[in-house]
Chains A and B, each alone.
Chain A
Amino acid sequence: MIRLENVGLRYGKGREVLRDVSFELKSGSFHFLTGPSGAGKTSLLRLLFLSLKPTRGVISLFNRDVSSLSRRQLPDLRRRIGVVFQDFRLLNHLTTFENVALPLRVRGEKVEDYRENVLELLDWVGLGDQANAYPAVLSGGEQQRAAIARAVVGRPEIILADEPTGNVDPDLARRLLRLFVELNRFGSTVVVATHDVVLMEELRAPKLVLDDGNLEVLP
């Protein structure tokens, strides 16, 4: 499903932030992506959700070499990937319902067709009461769950989460992890970037460990 071969990345003329990164993630797998701050976790995730191009190497998603795809083909690929951003990136002028439904709206689906599904999803993440609330009045944990709901509403095959438990208490962090495990159980390939050691001890899953741009895969 995801394959990287000798991928390198540098910003501008700076030094490489990722060096010879190679790994393969099978469909339906669950991985932690970990490493110290500044190790390149977010950069690697940005490569995976097609927000950056590698300076060298090959990235294959869904058995297609990403570099061979035209710009017009990228949105179709992005729709198969759900992303939870570290800073949530909810739009403050839209309600929770509208934020969560955004991936469906940009695909041209009608609100009548997706209203019930989105409301069910909001119930599932515990935000059923907040459908008409704006992000500014949501707590950090609620914003995080809204961001997760937005990432999964389009039924993506890959879910990438960047420090999804970084802003919540340990109890909610465990519940969010269970949510990702459930999504994985229903078929999504999940990569959770975190440097929370306690959280990783909650679940036995392979780890992609980044250190100063070099990647090691621990079973």
Chain B
Amino acid sequence: MSAIRREPTLTAKAPAAKRPADKVLPGARPTPIMPANTVAARSLMLVVSLMSFLACLALIGVLIISEAVDGWRADIAREVTLQIRPVSGVDIEEEIEKATSLLAATPGITGIRVIGAAESGKLLEPWLGKIPVISDLPIPRLIAIQTDPANPPDLAALGEQLAQEVKGAELDTHQQWQEQLSRTADTLRWIGYGVLTVIAVAFAAITVFATRSAIAANQNVVEVLHLVGARDGFIASQVQWHFVKLAGRAGLIGTLAGVVCAIALALLGPDTMPGGLTAASRALIFAPPALAYYNYGFLLLIPISAMAVSFITSRTTVMRILRDVL
């Protein structure tokens, strides 16, 4: 070929003529073989970003609900109530005294609050109205007991002991209320998982569709590479890494946008309800490092999933195109 090059057949001027190309070394920064900034690539980027944003919101929603539900459960489990019914011939104040001494001596109990007769009467006002006879009625007395969640007392044994030693005593562990709340919380959580699954399927389907469209728009590149002697593996790697990088970038952008929304909720959300969704989002976003790794690791699954879906789709699509062109 060098012999050919010494004979300028088509050039009007000598080959040694200075080229403008000399100013920029040709091929110094090789252009990626797959075109980067096409309409198809921009559309794919937009679609994957939006779907990642939605998936991120759904995932954050599920995590926040889980966080809130765990908080509610812990709050309810942390408090039990001792009810002491009036028994004829027994001084109820003495029984309350006995109960508080017994409770104070029980390990795992962090707080005792005796609800006074007047306060107990007030609890009945919504049903009976403000009538002076309330104070004369034999109203059961209540003791609110705080337990240590890390080292809870054996409530069954405590209940039995109180029933034996304190006349008219009955320990209410709120089990029925807890069960109802558990069912409600689990329903909420499953609804969250359901929404997340629907979004995940839509995310995968739309990413597959957008990747295929983008490859179809670049089919001529695939064919030219094939015809100039590129091996299938070379073409597939060029195409798949182009789309994997693109999907990864778009996935990260969408996920970051979702995290920004969660941060906005955590910082700007209504603050009136302790244990509400704002508190739960704060616990999620500003979690201690060990928990933060877990939470943010979950969110990183979104761009990783986008890259995985894009990888599989682009490889199978380009292989199908190559099969068609022999």
Chain A contacts to B: CB under 8 angstroms: 49-53, 71-72, 74-76, 78-79, 83, 89, 91-95, 97-98, 101-103, 105-108, 111, 115, 117-121, 123-126, 128-132, 145, 150, 152, 154-155, 175-176, 178-179, 182-183, 186
Contacts and interface: CB of A to CB of B under 8 A. Distances in A.
A124 B4 contact: yes
Interface residues of B, number: 41
B320 interface: no
A183 B27 CA distance: 26
B237 to A, nearest CB: 11
B230 interface: yes
A106 to B, nearest CB: 4
B12 A126 contact: yes
A75 B35 CA distance: 23
B177 interface: no
Contacts of A182: 4, 7, 9
Given A126-B11, A132-B24, A183-B4, A106 B228 contact: yes
A150 B21 CA distance: 18
Interface string B106-130: 0000000000000000000000000
A105 B33 contact: yes
Interface string B2-28: 111101111110010101110011111
A132 B22 CA distance: 9
Contact of B326 (A50, A105, A128): A50
Given A93-B35, A124-B9, A132-B20, 15 more contacts: A78-B228, A89-B223, A93-B38, A103-B229, A105-B33, A111-B30, A115-B27, A118-B27, A125-B11, A126-B12, A128-B17, A129-B20, A129-B21, A131-B19, A132-B24
Given A51-B326, A119-B21, A150 B228 contact: yes
B27 A101 contact: yes
Given A89-B224, A94-B31, A183-B4, A128 B229 contact: no
Label chain B's interface by main secondary structure: loop
Contacts of A123: 5, 8, 11, 15
Contacts of B26: 95, 97-98, 115, 118-119, 131-132
A176 B9 CA distance: 9
A91 B224 contact: yes
A160 to B, nearest CB: 11
A125 B4 CA distance: 11
Contacts of B220: 89, 91
A132 B29 CA distance: 11
A121 B17 CA distance: 14
Contacts of A118: 26-27
Nearest to B26: A97
A176 to B, nearest CB: 8
A117 to B, nearest CB: 7
B201 interface: no
Interface of B: 1-5, 7-12, 15, 17, 19-21, 24-28, 30-31, 33, 35-36, 38, 220-221, 223-225, 227-232, 234, 325-326
A124 B5 contact: yes
A13 to B, nearest CB: 17
Contacts of B1: 117, 121, 152, 155, 186
Nearest to A50: B326
A125 B7 CA distance: 10
B322 to A, nearest CB: 9
- Please provide the 10 A-B residue pairs with the shortest distance between their CB atoms, ordered closest to farther: A123-B15, A131-B21, A97-B26, A106-B230, A79-B229, A93-B35, A111-B27, A126-B10, A78-B229, A103-B228
A97 B1 CA distance: 17
A120 B5 contact: yes
A79 B234 CA distance: 14
B8 A124 contact: yes
Nearest to A183: B4
B224 A52 contact: no
Given A98-B27, A126-B10, A179-B9, A75 B231 contact: yes
Contact of A102 (B4, B25, B35, B224): B224
A171 to B, nearest CB: 11
Contacts of B4: 124, 182-183, 186
Given A75-B229, A78-B229, A97 B15 contact: no
A52 B7 contact: no
A93 B31 contact: yes
Nearest to A107: B229
Contacts of A111: 27-28, 30
A184 B5 CA distance: 14
B12 A51 contact: no
A50 B12 CA distance: 36
